[in-house]
Structure 1
Amino acid sequence: MSEATPSIPRPEYPRPQMVRTEWLNLNGEWEFEIDYGNSGKQRHLYEALSLKDQILVPFCPESKLSGVESKDFMSAVWYRKEIEIPANWNGKRILLHFGAVDYEAEIWVNGQSAGTHRGGYSSFSLDITHLLGAGVNVLTVCAEDDVRSGLQPRGKQSARFYSHGCDYTRTTGIWQTVWLEAVPQQYIQAFKLTPDADNGVLHVEGDLIGADGLTFAVEAQYRGKTVGSGSAVVTGKQARLSVKLSENHLWEIGSPNLYDLKLTLESHGKSIDAVDSYFGLRSVKWDNNAILINGKPVFQRLVLDQGFYPDGIYTAPTDEALRNDIELSLSLGFNGARLHEKVFEARFLYWADRLGYIVWGEHANWGLDITTAQSLQPFLPEWIEIVKRDYNSPALVGWCPFNETWDGPTGARQNNDVLKITYQVTKALDPTRPVIDTSGNFHVITDIFDVHDYEQNPEKFAGNYEAMRHGGERFVTFSNRQKYEGQPYFVSEYGGIWWNPGQSDQKSWGYGDRPKTEEEFLARYEGLTLALLENPHICAFCYTQLYDVEQEVNGLLTYERKHKFDPEVIRRINATTAAIEKTFANNIKA
């Protein structure tokens, strides 16, 4: 069982699609020190007997919950914690896991380097067995971060001292759970689950350590009943098998049927390692007009979710807060979200899987100069880690590695090969989902054509898409830079209606002019939204945004997640049957 207790923050198991029983949550109080001059390595801080301050992990030092709440730029930060390995873990491998560390991390165990990792949004692990000693062991972490360099993805973290516009408080260092796990010498390192809903099959690819010649076995259950099993001999580090399911229960929006899964590594019938998981049986396809889930066009009523919290910044204060954001969105009539300019933690996807809530995965590309192919070096390895980590989620229905790839400050254009290569790599890793190369602009190669349109006048907004209603030319922003080529059409950002009664406009930000009354806001929201729902050649929208973030006050909720409007009014508008769904229903009847 885990050593996690309610007395430490975020005590829940951090990797819900691959669960083992022997783990130790390292969240809580760590020694901490800000290294403004980034000189700590030269000063051998990894050998220090103590650091100057303290911090509450997994909250970043900029946040209130961390106990530090330092908002200035930090070139590097240091963490130190003394740990003891449980006695019953003797003889096992000890893995050290980090949910995310922003940006470039090096980890020491007892003063010896255990490894490094680059990327502020992807999870990583280190085998530290050989560095551990008896009794007390010391973990030290250094995280270097420079959001102003142009050499790393920063997302919506402000490159100025203050937050401004749609950029907000920065996150430096550890911002997701840190934990230890005990595994056998031969163990299951990872696995890839590909559901085949049309044939009622689950394809499984296992990544095994030290297991050549052993047996990799899988058993699927639905509500406690075994509905499929299979096994394969491990060749090298790999094992592949397909499990035919005796019962097919589809994972659908609002009806998230999930199967339980047991994966074991066996030798002569004896279990050496075992993990628990789950999967959803569903398909995602796309044609000229629609994105189909389980063969049916479902209008994706999405909302922009940026994953910020008033007290935790990038880190939700509790697991319940992650679930609550999804439930609030569902209560407003949305069926999913664009997870925007941030890679959300695995437990958010877990709740999306459990609640039948679709999401698009996106990297935090803002801040990275992509005018040269050199940007692939910091971007692509982390993106590969992200795609691999989240591949198994049934709620995830599409990938979007880049968002609004504007040209550089000197006028240098985006390097189209950066988008093309990233698209190709993503499709090689995951051919089962659509990929948008860059949301909004400037498209190079994309499965879905999307635009961002913040026109605030409902009549003008509807006029942009009027020709499309009758099968005419698609509305294309930046027509000199991108071209519509027959893909499904998605208005992936719209609205952003500024509404901040009782707040100073000088300290707030939103799109266009602010409505004068709540009635004017709701009329605008309805006009903009129905223009998209009633168009038979639009398959999805994404409203900006679910909740306010700091000075950006165009959320349907406040930053504290309080409703600004009667949720039933918003829900009624969003629940309007979309033209694309009406057309499908009529064709079925005919």
Structure 2
Amino acid sequence: MLTEERRTDAATAQDGRYPRPQLVRADWLDLSGPWTFAFDDDDRGRREHWESSRSLPGVIQVPFPFESEASGVGDTGFHPVVWYQRTVLRDEIPAGERLLLNLGAVDHACEVWVDGRSAGSHEGGSTPFVLDITDLAGDGDVSITVRAQDDPADVAQPRGKQDWRHHPHSIWYHRTTGIWQPVWLEAAPELRIEQLHWLTDVPAGEVTAQLRLSRPAPTGTTATITVELGGERLASIRTAIDGREVEIPFRIHRQTNGQAYEELLWSPSHPTLIDATVTLSGPAGADDVVASYFGLRSTAVEGGRFLLNDRPLYLRSVLNQGYWPASHSAAPSADALRAEAQLILDLGFNATRLHQKYEDPRFLFWADKLGLLVWGEAPAAYAFSPEAVRRSVAEWSAILDRDRSHPSIVTWVPLNESWGVQHLAHDPRMVSYAKALVHLTKTVDPSRPVISNDGWEHAASDILSIHDYDHDPERVRERYATRDGILAAPFTLPGRRLVVDAEQRLDVPIMLTEFGGISYTEDGPEDAWGYSTASSATELVERLRALVGAVRSSTALAGYCYTQLADTGQETNGLVFEDRRPKAPIEELRAIFGA
């Protein structure tokens, strides 16, 4: 049981395994590992009450999708309904007032039972949810059953790069079905913190903690916040609270020293994270003590440039699919997420665009910790319908709630290349939708730039981003030489306009957010491809040097994003192979992409 005397460790000192890095509790149990498993292709499991069976016939390694080798199943066929079951021994279960079951992501919809009784359901293949299972768990071992449903042909689901065909084709990959992010149990008090956000006002040195509680705080409830950096206490506040949603502002007085103002700021060169401990104390019951962290930093666009902490920063980004050959969209391990962030930095980039995927929060922890800037992008639905809009908006809203306190995230991207809104240039409903996503995002989080539709056909974007896979350096150099020249071109690609809304501002930064895609493979698949091809590592380096040099010669561009980090299936246009081995000496690549 958590008390004020028994504090959790500093959140910035965590090892990267905890699945929710900005709201850490001490008492938890990782449920990764073997679960029993079954396909339910005839969808008869409900009728036959599989939730009450003591064992399913197969075994799967959670949290890997059954399509992946890491799952131990490795079946890439169409199986729209699957079941999981795991028995947790009584002496393994964290002890506390309430027992919470957390699921990081289950694609796409799921139902959960505990000891054969319904615990709840969830829709949204990339978003987390938590179930209080205290009253369902008996005094002995606890059986957890999960049924997941994911229709491969349903293109109204936000699916990103998941292929709707049987085999991956073009730029799409194997599907992700069922559990693909961590599952864990934790003990917590009945009155507890459900969500915690940090709002920072850098010039004023002010921070606001936003708390959402499990229920309205009764009279006599207090919250205590202690903020530290390397053992130095920066702030401490204790205040009475009421209601379920609470805002607690406080100042970091050290920021009043103007000469020391920048010492605490978060940036890629100095990724300073500030630890926070939040203690919720009610008039009865145990205290809820959680560890968290935040970064003091600001983002903005002004004068055609991207600003970090009020200073122009040129973004050198790489497109990251977040896909591994053995585990697919699921990370192969917690350590692999750290290695991925470090690899991107080692290659000379200061940013990454997480492409068509809401990435595991443990990756965002390492981005925060190591100083890697992140573009947060939504996986697309491919249909435009009321149902597709409802699902996409629901998942986008949930991810804004999950991720908006990470200092590493500096840009939001709700749409990409008009996927799911293919007629944006001609259909006013789609323009309204793109603009609505921008305004929704700014309503929830006004602190970051938003790109309405990355690549082309912008409406209400804070950055005009362009995708251009021309492999001729001289044409690229000429095309992006001047801002007026870029804006004068009516189309970025045949049939795709740069701007589709008369109210779109044209004085915002311009970035080339997809280019390159040069394929080089030693022994790739038969259908290996890229947007152009190099025949050797030496040629790859030469072509990269010329193409990136042409892009960086432009005074009109405020940044770029190279395609892509790693080979992914048939896409062999990575800077590293699928196993993350660099295709050329890493110092040569770093010299091309570095500052």
Normalising by the residue count of structure 1, what TM-score does the alignment of the two structures yield?
0.91
RMSD: 2.4
Q: What secondary structure sits across from 2:113 in the alignment?
A: strand
Partner of 1:582: none
Partner of 1:398: 411
Please tell me the residue identity of whatever aligns with 2:218. D
Tell me the distance in 2 between the aligned counterparts of 1:292 and 1:229. 30
Q: Is 1:172 aligned to residue 177 of structure 2?
A: yes
CA distance 1:562–1:272, change in 2 (3 Å): same
Deviates more, 1:261-270 or 1:205-214: 261-270
CA distance 1:12–1:39, change in 2 (3 Å): same
Partner of 2:345: 330
Q: Identity across aligned pairs (percent)?
A: 36
Q: What secondary structure sits across from 2:76 in the alignment?
A: coil
Is the CA contact (8 Å cut-off) linking 2:94 and 2:187 kept in structure 1? yes
Partner of 1:240: 247
Deviations 1:397-421 (A, max 9, x none): 0111121124678999572222222
Deviations 1:111-145 (A, max 9, x none): 22111111111111111112111102211100000
Is the CA contact (8 Å cut-off) linking 2:25 and 2:291 kept in structure 1? yes
Q: Is 1:486 aligned to residue 507 of structure 2?
A: yes
Is the CA contact (8 Å cut-off) linking 2:110 and 2:123 kept in structure 1? yes
Deviates more, 1:279-288 or 1:10-19: 10-19
Please tell me the residue identity of whatever aligns with 1:527. A
Shift of 1:516: 3.6
Partner of 1:219: 226
Is the CA contact (8 Å cut-off) linking 1:11 and 1:25 kept in structure 2? no
Partner of 2:585: 566
Partner of 2:521: 500
Deviations 1:551-571 (A, max 9, x none): 100000000001111222221
CA distance 1:193–1:82, change in 2 (3 Å): same
Deviates more, 1:289-298 or 1:233-242: 233-242
Deviations 1:224-267 (A, max 9, x none): 11111223322210221212113341111131111110001124
Q: What secondary structure sits across from 1:569 in the alignment?
A: helix
Q: What secondary structure sits across from 1:344 in the alignment?
A: coil
Please tell me the residue identity of whatever aligns with 1:524. R
Deviations 1:509-559 (A, max 9, x none): 211x31344443323212221222222221111000011001100000000
Q: Is 1:351 aligned to residue 339 of structure 2?
A: no
Is the CA contact (8 Å cut-off) linking 1:464 and 1:475 kept in structure 2? no
CA distance 1:33–1:335, change in 2 (3 Å): same
Q: What secondary structure sits across from 1:461 in the alignment?
A: helix
Shift of 1:57: 0.7
Is the CA contact (8 Å cut-off) linking 2:37 and 2:60 kept in structure 1? yes
- Where do residues 264-343 of structure 1 align in structure 2 (5 Å cutoff)? 264-267=279-282, 272-343=287-358
Gaps of 5+ in 2: 3-14, 256-263
Shift of 1:194: 0.9
Is the CA contact (8 Å cut-off) linking 2:218 and 2:283 kept in structure 1? no
Is the CA contact (8 Å cut-off) linking 2:93 and 2:185 kept in structure 1? no
Q: Is 1:360 aligned to residue 375 of structure 2?
A: yes
Shift of 1:110: 1.6
CA distance 1:406–1:340, change in 2 (3 Å): closer
Which of 60, 64, 69 is matched with 1:55 structurally? 60
Please tell me the residue identity of whatever aligns with 1:555. G
Shift of 1:85: 4.3
Tell me the distance in 2 between the aligned counterparts of 1:500 and 1:294. 40
Q: Is 1:451 aligned to residue 443 of structure 2?
A: no
Is the CA contact (8 Å cut-off) linking 1:16 and 1:346 kept in structure 2? yes
Is the CA contact (8 Å cut-off) linking 2:490 and 2:498 kept in structure 1? no
Deviations 1:328-349 (A, max 9, x none): 1111110110001111111000
Shift of 1:467: 3.4
Deviates more, 1:527-536 or 1:352-361: 527-536
Partner of 2:51: 46
Partner of 1:7: none
Which of 547, 552, 561 is matched with 2:566 structurally? 547
Please tell me the residue identity of whatever aligns with 1:42. R
Shift of 1:195: 1.5
Q: What secondary structure sits across from 1:114 in the alignment?
A: strand
Tell me the distance in 1 between the aligned counterparts of 2:308 and 2:489. 24
Partner of 1:94: 99
Shift of 1:482: 2.9
Partner of 1:379: 392
Tell me the distance in 2 between the aligned counterparts of 1:113 and 1:540. 50
Please tell me the residue identity of whatever aligns with 1:379. S
Please tell me the residue identity of whatever aligns with 1:552. E
CA distance 1:480–1:265, change in 2 (3 Å): closer
Please tell me the residue identity of whatever aligns with 1:386. I
Please tell me the residue identity of whatever aligns with 1:71. T
Is the CA contact (8 Å cut-off) linking 1:326 and 1:357 kept in structure 2? yes
Please tell me the residue identity of whatever aligns with 1:261. A
Please tell me the residue identity of whatever aligns with 1:12. R
Q: What secondary structure sits across from 2:56 in the alignment?
A: coil
Deviations 1:382-407 (A, max 9, x none): 11111111111011101111211246
Q: Is 1:524 aligned to residue 551 of structure 2?
A: no
Partner of 1:536: 555
Normalising by the residue count of structure 2, what TM-score does the alignment of the two structures yield?
0.90
Tell me the distance in 2 between the aligned counterparts of 1:169 and 1:571. 31
Q: What secondary structure sits across from 1:107 in the alignment?
A: strand
Gaps of 5+ in 1: 3-9, 577-590
Tell me the distance in 1 between the aligned counterparts of 2:515 and 2:121. 40
Tell me the distance in 2 between the aligned counterparts of 1:323 and 1:297. 27
Aligned length: 565
Q: What secondary structure sits across from 2:443 in the alignment?
A: helix
Shift of 1:172: 0.7
Shift of 1:441: 3.1
CA distance 1:407–1:425, change in 2 (3 Å): closer
Tell me the distance in 2 between the aligned counterparts of 1:73 and 1:376. 25
Is the CA contact (8 Å cut-off) linking 2:491 and 2:498 kept in structure 1? no
Q: Is 1:194 aligned to residue 199 of structure 2?
A: yes
Q: What secondary structure sits across from 1:397 in the alignment?
A: strand
Tell me the distance in 2 between the aligned counterparts of 1:70 and 1:257. 44
Tell me the distance in 1 between the aligned counterparts of 2:93 and 2:395. 35
Shift of 1:146: 1.5
Shift of 1:72: 0.3
Deviates more, 1:234-243 or 1:133-142: 234-243
Tell me the distance in 1 between the aligned counterparts of 2:87 and 2:538. 58
Q: What secondary structure sits across from 2:293 in the alignment?
A: strand
Question: After the TM superposition, which parts of structure 1 deviate over 6 Å for at least 4 consecutive aligned residues?
Answer: 268-271, 407-412, 469-472
Tell me the distance in 2 between the aligned counterparts of 1:109 and 1:407. 37
Q: Is 1:110 aligned to residue 108 of structure 2?
A: no
Deviates more, 1:449-458 or 1:435-444: 435-444
Partner of 1:440: 455
Q: What secondary structure sits across from 2:447 in the alignment?
A: coil
CA distance 1:308–1:429, change in 2 (3 Å): same
Q: What secondary structure sits across from 1:510 in the alignment?
A: coil
Partner of 1:151: 156
Tell me the distance in 1 between the aligned counterparts of 2:474 and 2:486. 19
Q: Is 1:64 aligned to residue 77 of structure 2?
A: no
Tell me the distance in 1 between the aligned counterparts of 2:211 and 2:239. 10
Deviates more, 1:128-137 or 1:273-282: 128-137
Please tell me the residue identity of whatever aligns with 1:333. G
Is the CA contact (8 Å cut-off) linking 1:468 and 1:475 kept in structure 2? no
Q: What secondary structure sits across from 1:262 in the alignment?
A: strand
Q: Is 1:417 aligned to residue 424 of structure 2?
A: no
